Structure 1
Amino acid sequence: MHRNANIATTLIIVGAGKWGTNFITTACALKLSVAIVETNLEALALIKCNPRVSPACRFFSNLGQALGALPNAAVVVATPPSTHFALAKQAITAGRHVLVEKPMCDNLQDAQRLADLARNHQVTLMVDHLLHYSVHHRRMLYLIESGLIGKVKRVHMSRMNFGAVRTNENVLWSLSPHDVSILLAVFKDQSPDSVLCTGHKVVSLHVEDSVSLHVRFKDGVHAQIDCNWMHPFKERRTIVYGTKGCIVLNEAMPDATLKRIQAFHWSAKRKHDGSSVKIEKSEAHILQYLKDQSGQAASELEEMDAKQPLQVVLEHFLECIQKQTVPRTDGNEGVRVLRILSAASESLVKGGEVVSLHNISPAVHALRSFVHPTAVVDQGAVLGQGTKVWHFSHIMPGAVLKEKCNIGQNVYIGGKAKLGRNVKVQNNVSIYDEVCIDDDVFLGPSCVLTNVKNPRSHVSRKHEYMPTVIEKGVTVGANATIVCGITLGAYSFVGAGAVVTKNVPPHAMVYGNPAVIKGWMSTTGNKLHEVSLLKEGRKLLRCRESQEIYRLYEKGAEVNGRWEEGPFVMLERSESR
């Protein structure tokens, strides 16, 4: 039984970017009550002055506030894919129905967790695979289901055009999720078995601009999806080949005279001289065929013809909530799409090897992450978008690496380790369990992070691992040793070869054996210089590069209502005095 099944008119739309704006204006046109969650001030200003946005819309700075103020609202998530899981999870655990923009998540593991979570909380989870709500694609699927072209044997899809070339995601993840979703609908009674994916990096050095994805199904049928954002002509076309004929859907083609959708019958006739077989085609009258096969389907499609696909999406979402029915593109369908994209990413990294859909890791191939073929990332490890794992490294199950980490060669990361965003780990570093690393940390080559203070080969001390905390912006030099159980304060700087045996305060520069404070560093990694001497052992320091001003407390001071022993440095303000 669904919870909050009486929802019909209230939506919380998270994100007011390009696609979020489309959701907002469509919901306003449908006379729905809309609440908008957006933190970007520029996007917020644009949406507030949009004439298609109702003045009755309410605005919130975070989803938690909106959920608290609107206890019966459903949620639409239209934010970057890396945020989908956290936002959708927050809404689902609050008992809300959720519509998520594609792709459902940036990795298969999180997608499966969301689908399970929605089932356990008895709420609707729907993915915006928009082509399912396009009248032309729906017409194509009806024609296939009715048997007009016989049994489907092959599908070829192309989605190509000059477009925005992205640097943080390849063309596979950017353009193909909708096509993969439709492909699964075409072969709804057949399970995909394996994929092969090849690509080329032409404009960007880091992501593929052109990709060809091949999907094979268990009974041997084959599908191909070609994506390219450098193609000189706009081409969005689907051709479905069957035993009796084919269907052609021209979403957008260079030749504007082509019909949007066509169906052909064909027959094989031997030439009079017996030399070969000739294929003859005849165009089918699809509209009349649909009326003859199913008047109800024809009427439904005529009604859809007058609507934009996004309007159909929102109406279908609300109808599924009210009638307690399963959406056409529910969470399970989103998981199926992510499974193919994950396997395709693995094949792409492996240079076009065939990858079985029954033997992929649910988390390794997260959206826009890279794993070198010689590296081992165990199932259950989580890699954030943009993270790269290089030669011969090993990431254990349970390890969490957030966005844009760069893991060098021959690195080991334990299963309980946590790495924040943009962490750079150089070659030959081992990060053991109980190590917690914040954002923007740099670990130099061959630096050592220990886990116990008194190791013995014949004594197991796994239950005695001591936590090591490395706060935001820390730099650890090459061959330095960090004794376990201590904290390196934010933006501190550990010199090469240092042996750190006790806590290091924020911004401190330490080196030696044992390491001692030799100065203070700015957030940009430059040594601070004294500006003036203040009372009670305090000084003003300045970074010559950024011109930031810092205050040094040699004897200690009150920080957030608590006395902190000195010495330590705090950023005073960003500009010079």
Structure 2
Amino acid sequence: MAPRIAVLGCGYWGSNHIRTLKKLGVLHAVSDANGARAEGFATEQECLAIAPDALHRRNDIDAVVLALPPQYHAEFAERLVEAGKDVLVEKPIALTVADAERTVAAARAHDRVFMVGHVLRFHPAFETLKALIDNGELGEVRYIHSHRLGLGKFHTENDALWDLAPHDLSMILAITGTAPLEVRGEGAAILDNLSDFAHLHMLFPGGVRGHLFTSRLNPYRERRLTVVGTKAMAVFDDVEPWERKLAVYRHAVWQDSGQWAFTANEPAYVEVQQGMPLTRELEHFLDCLETRSEPRTTGEEAVTVLKILTAGTVIHD
């Protein structure tokens, strides 16, 4: 029997979950603090509307997708896993490391599937990039940098780093396979006391370095992840059309008579199978529910992401 899934949080991203789960045939209920909003989605999607505080008591709910403001994630996630529900929680998993660790421990203690919505891990271009790295096509990875820039969205609780960086950090951690040894953050607050621009500088075991730049006050959109290896460099650019989203540059750099020399080659665009990352993420969640297997984006990884965010946050008076 297909799992019966509820979505808690009917805002912008929650509505995407609702519509996608409906297409996948597993949407059973919606829930929101705004009862009228939940009822509207329930009517539109022909499912139940359930009050948030009642979800954990419902025997007809197998799993819940949490798409709430992040300050509420830990409270509801812990309550749900303790009630025997499997959970997919949107990023960030919580606003403090302590809350995140407590939630992950509760999920482990109650043997629940617990997945975090780092949706770009399921982007076909990133999956193809990760396969190239794992197959040695880029050689030894030495440097990773990501830029996630644009205008908005503006939150009263999250700054540019916490809102925009988790997806990129999840991808970087997937590539390095380990947490950074050092994290240094820089930020600038323009509108209020929350950073509108943020930089993270990271050092990983083996000397691999990472750099991340986020901005919500940028005049143009940039969604780019670059990986520099000893054999080649690769760029995942999500602003580009599908046929140009993943490029490999086989530049060469060498020393000649004590001087550095290089050749710059044109990019080779790698074919990427098209697909919606959110659909693929939710299909993965459904597979984990059926097989009781470990999700690709675990709670433990999300805790590491939160530790990096915490270490790199700049407090503005």
TM-score band by shorter chain is over 0.9
- The one of 262, 267, 276 equivalent to 2:259 is 276
- The one of 220, 224, 229 equivalent to 2:211 is 224
Matched, 1:70 2:59: yes
- The one of 147, 152, 160 equivalent to 2:141 is 152
Matched, 1:267 2:252: yes
The residue that corresponds to 1:60 in the other structure is: 50
Gap regions ≥5 residues in structure 1: 1-6, 289-300, 350-369, 373-577
> Counterparts in 2 of 1:470-489, with a 5 A limit?
none
Equivalent position amino acid for 2:30 in 1 = I
The residue that corresponds to 1:243 in the other structure is: 230
CA contact (8 A) 1:14 1:63 kept: no
CA distance in 1: counterparts of 2:254 and 2:169, whole angstroms = 35
CA distance in 1: counterparts of 2:221 and 2:269, whole angstroms = 25
Task: Report the 3-state secondary structure (helix = DSSP H, G, I; strand = E; otherwise coil) of the residue aligned with 1:118.
Answer: helix
- The one of 179, 193, 203 equivalent to 1:191 is 179
1:43 deviation in Å?
A: 2.7
1:282 deviation in Å?
A: 3.5
- The one of 26, 30, 36 equivalent to 1:36 is 30
1:15 deviation in Å?
A: 1.0
CA contact (8 A) 1:250 1:258 kept: no
1:46 deviation in Å?
A: 4.6
CA distance in 2: counterparts of 1:231 and 1:193, whole angstroms = 30
CA contact (8 A) 2:57 2:83 kept: no
CA contact (8 A) 2:244 2:269 kept: no
Matched, 1:163 2:152: yes
1:286 deviation in Å?
A: 6.4
Larger radius of gyration: 1
CA contact (8 A) 2:30 2:41 kept: no
RMSD, aligned α-carbons? 2.3
CA contact (8 A) 1:164 1:229 kept: yes
CA distance in 2: counterparts of 1:154 and 1:106, whole angstroms = 28
Task: Report the 3-state secondary structure (helix = DSSP H, G, I; strand = E; otherwise coil) of the residue aligned with 2:214.
Answer: strand
Equivalent position amino acid for 1:58 in 2 = L
Task: Report the 3-state secondary structure (helix = DSSP H, G, I; strand = E; otherwise coil) of the residue aligned with 1:329.
Answer: coil
Task: Report the 3-state secondary structure (helix = DSSP H, G, I; strand = E; otherwise coil) of the residue aligned with 2:120.
Answer: helix
The residue that corresponds to 1:462 in the other structure is: none
Matched, 1:308 2:308: no
- The one of 296, 300, 304 equivalent to 1:328 is 296
1:113 deviation in Å?
A: 0.9
| Structure ranking higher in helix proportion | 2
Task: Report the 3-state secondary structure (helix = DSSP H, G, I; strand = E; otherwise coil) of the residue aligned with 2:207.
Answer: coil
Equivalent position amino acid for 1:198 in 2 = E
CA contact (8 A) 2:201 2:212 kept: yes
Which has the higher relative contact order, 1 or 2, with Cα contacts under 8 A spaced 6 or more apart?
A: 2
Equivalent position amino acid for 2:66 in 1 = V
The residue that corresponds to 1:134 in the other structure is: 123
Q: After superposition, what is the alpha-carbon deviation per residue over 1:5-40, rounded to whole angstroms, capped at 9, x for unaligned?
A: xx7331011111111111110011112242111221
> Counterparts in 2 of 1:427-576, with a 5 A limit?
none
Matched, 1:210 2:197: yes
The residue that corresponds to 1:91 in the other structure is: 80
Task: Report the 3-state secondary structure (helix = DSSP H, G, I; strand = E; otherwise coil) of the residue aligned with 1:219.
Answer: helix
Residues 327/258 of structure 1: CA separation in 2 closer, same or farther (3 Å cut): closer
Residues 339/269 of structure 1: CA separation in 2 closer, same or farther (3 Å cut): closer
CA distance in 1: counterparts of 2:26 and 2:221, whole angstroms = 35
Residues 45/233 of structure 1: CA separation in 2 closer, same or farther (3 Å cut): same
The residue that corresponds to 2:16 in the other structure is: 22
Matched, 1:252 2:239: yes
CA distance in 1: counterparts of 2:148 and 2:27, whole angstroms = 35
Task: Report the 3-state secondary structure (helix = DSSP H, G, I; strand = E; otherwise coil) of the residue aligned with 1:92.
Answer: helix
CA contact (8 A) 2:42 2:49 kept: no
CA contact (8 A) 1:13 1:20 kept: yes
CA distance in 2: counterparts of 1:225 and 1:258, whole angstroms = 25
CA contact (8 A) 1:167 1:206 kept: no
CA contact (8 A) 2:32 2:38 kept: yes
Equivalenced residue count is 317
1:338 deviation in Å?
A: 1.0
Equivalent position amino acid for 2:261 in 1 = K
CA contact (8 A) 1:67 1:73 kept: no
Equivalent position amino acid for 1:323 in 2 = T
Equivalent position amino acid for 1:23 in 2 = H
Task: Report the 3-state secondary structure (helix = DSSP H, G, I; strand = E; otherwise coil) of the residue aligned with 1:155.
Answer: strand
The residue that corresponds to 1:344 in the other structure is: 312
Gap regions ≥5 residues in structure 2: none
Q: After superposition, what is the alpha-carbon deviation per residue over 1:456-514, rounded to whole angstroms, capped at 9, x for unaligned?
A: xxxxxxxxxxxxxxxxxxxxxxxxxxxxxxxxxxxxxxxxxxxxxxxxxxxxxxxxxxx
1:41 deviation in Å?
A: 4.0
Task: Report the 3-state secondary structure (helix = DSSP H, G, I; strand = E; otherwise coil) of the residue aligned with 2:171.
Answer: helix
Task: Report the 3-state secondary structure (helix = DSSP H, G, I; strand = E; otherwise coil) of the residue aligned with 1:156.
Answer: strand
TM-score in terms of structure 1 length: 0.52
CA contact (8 A) 1:24 1:34 kept: no
Task: Report the 3-state secondary structure (helix = DSSP H, G, I; strand = E; otherwise coil) of the residue aligned with 1:9.
Answer: coil
CA distance in 1: counterparts of 2:302 and 2:7, whole angstroms = 20
1:323 deviation in Å?
A: 1.0
Q: After superposition, what is the alpha-carbon deviation per residue over 1:421-449, rounded to whole angstroms, capped at 9, x for unaligned?
A: xxxxxxxxxxxxxxxxxxxxxxxxxxxxx
Residues 316/219 of structure 1: CA separation in 2 closer, same or farther (3 Å cut): same
